[in-house]
A = this chain, B = another copy of it.
Amino acid sequence: MALRHIALFRWQDGVTPEQVAQVERLLGALPDAIPALDSYTFGPDLGISGGAYDFAVVAEVADEAGFVAYRDHPEHRSALAVIGPLLSDRAAIQYSIPGK
């Protein structure tokens, strides 16, 4: 089994496309910086369904130790310091997926 971490964000009113682009730049640098990340995808809601969150981040790691390595990595913490003030809501989970 592997582990998938999901975080969904709702942006505060007034968050700009430039701020979201900055978030995407910061997240985009993480796969090269954090070896524990086996897969890392993120992006905005596609606008297909009403009531959706605004932005998704999905990380796949081998196990709980890999998740903790990601969660506590300095570059991830730096990205979170930028993201946190932009959020009005966040939903998250870690669940098991079949190993690769």
Interface residues of A (CB under 8 A from B): 3-4, 6, 8, 41-46, 48-49, 51-56, 58, 64, 67, 71, 91-98
Contacts and interface: CB of A to CB of B under 8 A. Distances in A.
Nearest to A54: B93
Contact of A41 (B43, B67, B98): B98
A41 B95 CA distance: 9
Copies of this subunit:
2
Given A4-B58, A6-B6, A6-B8, A46 B92 contact: no
A51 B92 contact: yes
Contacts of A98: 41
Given A41-B98, A98-B41, A8 B93 contact: yes
Given A48-B64, A64-B48, A41 B4 contact: yes
Given A6-B6, A8-B8, A53-B91, A46 B64 contact: yes
